Structure 1
Amino acid sequence: MKKKYDVVGMTCSACSAHVDKAVRGLDGVDDVNVNLLQNSMTVEFDENKLSESQIFEAVDKAGYKVQNIGEKQVSNVQENENEHKKKNLILSFIFLIPLFYISMGHMINWPLPSILLGHENMMIFVLVQLCLVVPIMFINRGYYIRGFKTLFNRSPNMDSLIALGSSAAFIYSLYATFMMAYYLGRMDMDMTHHYMMQLYFESAGMILTLISLGKYLESRSKQKTSEAIEKLMKLMPSTAIVLKEGKEVEIAIEDVQIGDVVIVKPGNNIPLDGKIIQGHGSINEAMITGESLPVDKTIGDQVIGSTNNLDGYMQVEVSHTSDDTTLSKIIRLVEEAGASKAPIAKLADKISGVFVPTVITIAIITFILWLTLGNKDFHFALNCAISVLVISCPCALGLATPTAIMVGTGKGANLGILVKSAQHLEELSKCDTIVLDKTGTLTEGKPQVTEVYPMGVSENDLLKYAGSIEQYSKHPLAKAIHSYVLEQGLSIDSLDHFEMKQGLGLVGDLKGEILLSGNRRLMEKNGVDLSSIENLYKELSSKGKTPLFYSYAGQLIGLIVVSDVLKQTSKHAIDCLKDMNMNIYMLTGDNQLTANAIADELGIEAIGEVLPQDKEKHVRDLQEKGHRVIMVGDGINDAPALVRSDVGIAMTSGIDIAIESADIVLMKNDLQDVVVAYELSKATIKNIKENLFWAFFYNVIGIPVAAGVFYSIFGWLLDPMYGAAAMSLSSVFVVSNALRLRFFKPKHQIIKIQENRKKEEKKMKKVLVEGMMCEHCKAHVEKALNAIDGIQATVDLEKNCAFVEGEANEATLKQAIEEAGYTYKGIE
């Protein structure tokens, strides 16, 4: 069982380390991931061995609280907490400003009331400071409650350092106050004045207020790191208009069921994932896919919940409930990635577990050494010890990794790149080799019939045989051939038996004889003589074309050539990957000659004739040679290879997210996003290293300075107030540095094919055509329009329109379409 909880009271990396240790030690816990940034804890445990109450008890003993808060309540809780911090901060400053002015004014010759000046008013001077610092300590009492509780539980955290430092300053100041009263009563003005100069009331108040200021700024900054998730959550509509018994009824989104029909009007968000059953629309999917331009969709098209319908009326049949929509999956994926830990964070985690006890030990040693060996008075030794306590900042160390991961994965989600975990993000930055599936990754995945070579039968007979067997397969090549046969207006027969041979082709029984469709190995396995077509086969393969063999009753009856064109962005993406010094391989089931032709065009190495189950072996072979391998595929057929690779990247349409097999999911079917993902991983890991460097560097320099190590050489001595300010600013600095990732832009230029296509389409006339149902219809309309002099036309079956370039009046276009048997609906 895997469950996520909210942990209350964590303030630094030492806190998260103690919570992790407390829960991980329980019998039945398989894994624990404590996230300081989100104040959350994910526990994977055996519910037969361990109960939730035992987990809660372990966290409570560590000095923290666990509670379950719904996703929609989390942001409200965070906002309320920030408001509470802001209110306390303002109140603290109201008391701190006069406290600081009074305590330091006489040193800087600031004007002070006469009641606070002179030896006769020394006790009034001290008591006013005492009255001002007590409210500050009360306002910020949480540091003492949490700090001493965790200290007594032997799991000290940042609050413990603050509580010890400010308490030491306050207690010593009280001691000095009593000594002043003692010597004043005996009229020893020198000693009275001596102790008046050793008051730390302003330091105690300043430490608490500056730390609170830093925590408030840090909290505000941390909120920005999760803004990607918040933006996505705000997209989710709360209600939907459902069609019930012919009437439109508005109901809560949680009450909508699979199969319900929802109404989507212009300007409204699509409530849930589904399929358009009536109408059409122009959909803005930018928030899901990262694609800036709207997508036109019509009957039969899938739509994504929470995307915006810019124009058009639609009726959508719901396919997923509110908990299972694409957006819900994305939110969960981004949250899990943000909460996960990168391997680079392990060193920081180990240090965090012992950091606070080490700091307390250093402070004690500093105090003792200066008091005994340094020949300094109690005041000097205490000053150094307090400075050590307040300048040491485990927060910066704990925030270094999770802030960068949260911002990086959030930025990826905005770009349509979904990262499963921080580990995969880091691993991606280390990879040097990329293996690419061909179909649908490098190519459009929509092959077309280009040539037909009959052998011993007529061309129409060969096509009839081909259409009869290919109609049963869902393979892209089969679909292309089947559609082509239908476009020719040929009839096809039904088979008595059909079987698909993995990696070979199709076998069917037609009128009592065996009908085969597939590659060369299928023919040879079934004893079909291919000698008569050997030269033609080699010639076609060398040109990158995919010839499919057909035989009937044991005799070869011909070849049909199908070509799958490269995506327009593939060559550019490959060039970018080469610039990054990537080793690039293409795996395909095509024969080696065909694979080489495509690879030569791209300038990469090809491995052909690879069965789906063998792709994993090729990835493993590369890994055994010392390479870190990225596998890019469709996330379904390539699942074994995706799992085997160091980082598996799935190309997807944005509806069926292959989360299980892939480590990274690209919402757009564009290889260029692999380039963007790689650059984003590099930028994120660089940011983490910067954060860790500054966190370590700060403590390595800050603690010795605070301890007075450089006092004898340079005369450097750190006031506890400045230590508190530095402690606060270090955390703010780390978070602010991570937030720079929000402005990440890939170094390599990304070609916007869709935008270019849109620009070209704007130059053309968009002619709306009604009645087209299949590729056969498309071919008829294109033929009719292209027969007009000076006209070049391309039909888009999905959009029910034709893009017409050239000079032709509307009447001519209408006549051509209607004579072809379809309905002219005007020019858009």
Structure 2
Amino acid sequence: MSDSSTVKTKYRVGGMDCASCATKIENAVSRVAGVSDVHVSVTAGTLTVSHDDGLAAGSVEKQVQSLGYKVAKAAVDMPEKHVHSPACSGHDHRDHDHDHDHHDHAGHSHGNPVKVKPASDGHAHDHFDLGDGPWWKTQKAKLTIGCGLALAVAYIIGHFMRDLGPYVFVAAMAVGLVPIARRAFMAARTGTPFSIETLMTIAAVGAVFIGATEEAAMVIFLFLVGELLEGVAASRARASIKGLTDLVPKTAFLDIDGQTKEVPADSVSVGAVLMVRPGDRIPADGDIIDGSSSIDEAPVTGESTPKRKTVGDAVFAGTINSDGVLRVKVTAAAADNTIARVVKLVEEAQESKAPTERFIDRFSQIYTPAVLVLGALVAIVPPLFFGQAWGEWVYKGLAVLLIGCPCALVISTPAAIAAGLSAGARRGLLLKGGAVLEGLRKINTVALDKTGTLTEGKPKVTDVVGLSKSPADVLALSAALENGSSHPLALAILARAKDDGVVVAAATDAKAVAGKGVIGVLNGETLYLASPQAAAEKAALATEVTARIQAFNDEGKTVSVLLVGDQVAGFLAIRDEPREDAAAGLSRLKAAGIQTVMLTGDNARTAAAIGKTLGIDVRAELLPEDKQRIVRELQGKGRVVAKVGDGINDAPALAAADIGIAMGGGTDVALETADAAVLHGRVVDIANMISLSRQVMSNITQNITIALGLKAVFLVTTIIGVTGLWPAILADTGATVLVTLNALRLLNVRFDKA
């Protein structure tokens, strides 16, 4: 546990485009007095520093600026109070005591949010120019263009005045080399002696001494071009996730006593009511309190088909209201809405390195010095011991330094990880770090909760049976008894009545009968909606009726019998139904060779019925510790287990699993408990998450092969004298560009259709 006096300060960094940049910044800032920990996210362009209260003002900024990067404190606005999202909110229950199958959800409990010291003393600096504008306006672009123009001038002068050629090429080279050499010197001073800039500086200066001034100037220019392309690629990756924030409109229409007022969207508070017009983007997370409309969630979830939503349904900021006027009650402030939380979680995840990335980092720390030694041996050994020409072998040694630049190798893994995390986030798949993304590919067993994971978590009326009354009358009278109640079974009955277009009256003197049901009066008749056992105490149930009720029970359905006076009017069957995509999602997992099992606290009969419908093995009537024990048992058999649940009472099993995946609509619990979260509650997204992991790891393998393969080829061709300095730097720059472009393909990753 960190010391209570330790605080975190967050900065935005401009011009940071690859993992080697991050390494230099980490090494430099770690040396600042008072700093205890440093995390750098290249894709997010952020630097997070843990330090004590005695940190000298401006010391971190000075250290970062000395390396040639722009830096500014970022305004951090962490909420002091937890804001509940729709799925966290409790229900107001009437005094109804329905007898129904329990669901395996415990009460919600939330950990305290992490607190971060505002980095700007109340002043936001996010508007500072950190070089994140159009690529041609960046410092790197200006330097590259300047060096290119100087090289062009050198060629013109060298063509007409050959005696001046070597000198003008040295001058052209100096345009680009001086900033590079300065960065190499500052990196060496702050803990990174074997940087890419160091290799470039030695190679360029050495080329001048052996008279290869034209090639030295071209090498520097090509290196700058490569860095510029890296920057463009990094900006694209960064924009891919930050572009989500642009989905949220800047203004909202606040509804105050029937009057609308346009206000900044980020000023809207929880509990406020917004009016959303057809065609507008929804400005905040909330619940619909009036109206219905098709909601296009494609910008957030990737779903191509709009969803019909009405009163009581939750909507997300950034989604599009297609065809109806809605009034929406805000459930999360701007800083805590779904999109803001997604962006924040992804940025935090990108600071967490995958095992492969950590290995590559460690390897590169050995690799770069080894390249220097190899280059020196190539330059010295043949002339010194075998009588070869010094100029030829020094030239080859310098080419080896350029071939050995670790740019492509170092960026091969983090570029793919960052692109994978961003691609997942844009599809509602949140993974808390590269280690999670990498680990998912090894999963061969998925254990799933039932309620709220495989099922909707909300009971639905599946069957209405009329006996002495018609089915429509049974539904109408049952709804009259439940009118105004917020009990889950009551809501199911009222929702079915609304869907069927049934006009619902309100029964009088409605009250609960403890442990049995609810009773009331409508049009002078006594209505009683009760469990079959309670109903049988007041009226005899025919044998065929009892048989039908038993058949529904065998299907895992709860039956409520309606009595009108002492006559059995009919009954309703209610069940928490599987999600629409549950069967398809499980089929996708099985097709991928992954074993599935349901772990639920629900009763065995209900669980077995759902399991039979979905074709999944079932373990029922489990306590939280039982779920954890079963996960441990599976692991003991050599299985790599992912546990999928709601992130609350499944916490022990989620913690025990190799990967814990929370299922749910962006609640604090769902996003903070597990290693990953399926934001939009689709079972098929579990298979998509594993597929994404496998695609990312395949991409990383391709990248490492490209990086090392090209270096190996050009190392051989250089030693045997086929290629020289230009091809060497083209090989490094080309490999870096290829690796980066290959990683960026993941931003457009496609999943199989459910």
Secondary structure of the residue that 2:677 maps to in structure 1? strand
| Deviation for aligned residue 1:166 | 1.0
Distance 2:637 2:631 in 1: 10
Counterpart selection for 1:426 from 398, 419, 438: 438
Secondary structure of the residue that 1:33 maps to in structure 2? strand
2:26 corresponds in structure 1 to 20
2:526 corresponds in structure 1 to none
1:251 corresponds in structure 2 to 263
1:486-524 deviations in whole A, cap 9, x for unaligned?
98987676569x8xxxxxxx79999xxxxxx9999xxxx
8 Å CA contact 1:542, 1:597 repeated in 2: no
Distance 1:304 1:671 in 2: 19
Distance 2:576 2:42 in 1: 49
**Does 2:91 match 1:85?**
no
**Does 2:550 match 1:544?**
no
After the TM superposition, which of the residue ranges 610-619 and 433-442 deviates more from structure 2? 610-619
1:581-615 deviations in whole A, cap 9, x for unaligned?
11110122333344334323433211011234533
Question: Given the superposition, is the C-alpha separation of residues 10 and 355 from structure 1 closer, same or farther in structure 2, using an over 3 Å criterion?
Answer: farther
Distance 1:695 1:518 in 2: 69
2:198 corresponds in structure 1 to 160
| Deviation for aligned residue 1:549 | 11
| Deviation for aligned residue 1:418 | 2.5
Matches for 1:588-607 after TM superposition, within 5 Å: 588-607=600-619
2:753 corresponds in structure 1 to 749
**Does 2:734 match 1:729?**
yes
1:763-793 deviations in whole A, cap 9, x for unaligned?
xxxxxxxxxxxxxxxxxxxxxxxxxxxxxxx
Question: Given the superposition, is the C-alpha separation of residues 256 and 539 from structure 1 closer, same or farther in structure 2, using an over 3 Å criterion?
Answer: closer
| Deviation for aligned residue 1:50 | 6.2
Counterpart selection for 2:304 from 286, 292, 296: 292
Secondary structure of the residue that 1:424 maps to in structure 2? helix
TM-score normalised by the chain length of structure 2: 0.76
1:529-582 deviations in whole A, cap 9, x for unaligned?
xxx9xx9899659833245899xxxxxxxx996433333432222222111111
**Does 2:151 match 1:96?**
yes
Question: Given the superposition, is the C-alpha separation of residues 57 and 290 from structure 1 closer, same or farther in structure 2, using an over 3 Å criterion?
Answer: same
1:141 corresponds in structure 2 to 178
| Deviation for aligned residue 1:158 | 0.8
**Does 2:707 match 1:670?**
no
Distance 2:239 2:279 in 1: 24
1:584 corresponds in structure 2 to 596
1:740 corresponds in structure 2 to 745
Distance 1:377 1:331 in 2: 58
| Deviation for aligned residue 1:265 | 2.6
Distance 2:453 2:341 in 1: 23
Secondary structure of the residue that 2:439 maps to in structure 1? helix
Matches for 1:179-198 after TM superposition, within 5 Å: none
**Does 2:730 match 1:719?**
no
Counterpart selection for 2:378 from 356, 366, 376: 366
Distance 1:626 1:676 in 2: 23
Distance 1:628 1:538 in 2: 42
Secondary structure of the residue that 1:402 maps to in structure 2? helix
1:42 corresponds in structure 2 to 48
Counterpart selection for 2:633 from 621, 640, 655: 621
Question: Given the superposition, is the C-alpha separation of residues 266 and 494 from structure 1 closer, same or farther in structure 2, using an over 3 Å criterion?
Answer: closer
Question: Given the superposition, is the C-alpha separation of residues 509 and 266 from structure 1 closer, same or farther in structure 2, using an over 3 Å criterion?
Answer: closer
Secondary structure of the residue that 2:388 maps to in structure 1? coil
Question: Given the superposition, is the C-alpha separation of residues 480 and 151 from structure 1 closer, same or farther in structure 2, using an over 3 Å criterion?
Answer: closer
Question: Given the superposition, is the C-alpha separation of residues 313 and 560 from structure 1 closer, same or farther in structure 2, using an over 3 Å criterion?
Answer: closer
Matches for 1:313-712 after TM superposition, within 5 Å: 313-444=325-456, 445-448=458-461, 474=487, 476=488, 480=492, 494=511, 540=551, 543-546=554-557, 562-612=574-624, 614-653=626-665, 658-703=670-715, 705-706=717-718, 708=719, 711=720
Q: AA paired with 1:543? A: D
**Does 2:225 match 1:220?**
no
Distance 2:702 2:286 in 1: 44
1:239 corresponds in structure 2 to 251
1:457 corresponds in structure 2 to none
| Deviation for aligned residue 1:284 | 1.9
Higher helix share: 1
Question: Given the superposition, is the C-alpha separation of residues 619 and 448 from structure 1 closer, same or farther in structure 2, using an over 3 Å criterion?
Answer: farther
Secondary structure of the residue that 2:459 maps to in structure 1? coil
| Deviation for aligned residue 1:209 | 0.7
**Does 2:214 match 1:205?**
no
8 Å CA contact 1:545, 1:561 repeated in 2: no
Question: Given the superposition, is the C-alpha separation of residues 567 and 247 from structure 1 closer, same or farther in structure 2, using an over 3 Å criterion?
Answer: closer
| Deviation for aligned residue 1:377 | 2.7
Q: AA paired with 2:41? A: N
Q: AA paired with 1:6? A: R
**Does 2:10 match 1:4?**
yes
Question: Given the superposition, is the C-alpha separation of residues 294 and 519 from structure 1 closer, same or farther in structure 2, using an over 3 Å criterion?
Answer: same
8 Å CA contact 2:553, 2:559 repeated in 1: no
8 Å CA contact 1:417, 1:673 repeated in 2: yes
Residues paired across the two proteins, number: 660
Q: Which runs of 5+ in 1 are unaligned?
A: 104-111, 117-124, 174-198, 455-459, 499-505, 511-516, 521-531, 551-558, 751-828
8 Å CA contact 2:28, 2:187 repeated in 1: no
Counterpart selection for 2:318 from 306, 326, 335: 306
| Deviation for aligned residue 1:447 | 3.6
Distance 1:324 1:281 in 2: 24
8 Å CA contact 2:510, 2:518 repeated in 1: no
Q: Which runs of 5+ in 2 are unaligned?
A: 1-6, 76-124, 468-472, 498-502, 520-529, 534-542, 562-570
1:803 corresponds in structure 2 to none
Distance 1:583 1:478 in 2: 37
| Deviation for aligned residue 1:720 | 1.2
1:198-250 deviations in whole A, cap 9, x for unaligned?
x3111111011111111122222222223321321222322333345765443
The CA RMSD measured in Å over matched residues stands at 4.4
| Deviation for aligned residue 1:134 | 0.6
Distance 2:43 2:450 in 1: 40
Q: AA paired with 1:231? A: G
Distance 2:232 2:68 in 1: 25
Distance 2:369 2:261 in 1: 62
Distance 2:355 2:57 in 1: 28
Secondary structure of the residue that 1:311 maps to in structure 2? coil
Distance 2:331 2:599 in 1: 34
8 Å CA contact 1:573, 1:671 repeated in 2: yes
Question: Given the superposition, is the C-alpha separation of residues 547 and 35 from structure 1 closer, same or farther in structure 2, using an over 3 Å criterion?
Answer: closer
Question: Given the superposition, is the C-alpha separation of residues 623 and 308 from structure 1 closer, same or farther in structure 2, using an over 3 Å criterion?
Answer: same
Distance 1:652 1:217 in 2: 39
2:187 corresponds in structure 1 to 150
Distance 2:20 2:636 in 1: 39
8 Å CA contact 2:403, 2:728 repeated in 1: yes
1:366-410 deviations in whole A, cap 9, x for unaligned?
222133113223312320221122222221122112211222222
Distance 2:610 2:276 in 1: 44
8 Å CA contact 1:36, 1:399 repeated in 2: no
Question: Given the superposition, is the C-alpha separation of residues 592 and 28 from structure 1 closer, same or farther in structure 2, using an over 3 Å criterion?
Answer: farther
Matches for 1:115-134 after TM superposition, within 5 Å: 116=161, 125-134=162-171
Secondary structure of the residue that 1:291 maps to in structure 2? coil
| Deviation for aligned residue 1:304 | 1.9
Distance 2:656 2:485 in 1: 32
| Deviation for aligned residue 1:729 | 1.0
| Deviation for aligned residue 1:59 | 5.8
Distance 1:271 1:590 in 2: 38
Question: Given the superposition, is the C-alpha separation of residues 359 and 519 from structure 1 closer, same or farther in structure 2, using an over 3 Å criterion?
Answer: farther
Q: Between the two structures, name the one with larger relative contact order (CA 8 Å, sep ≥ 6).
A: 2
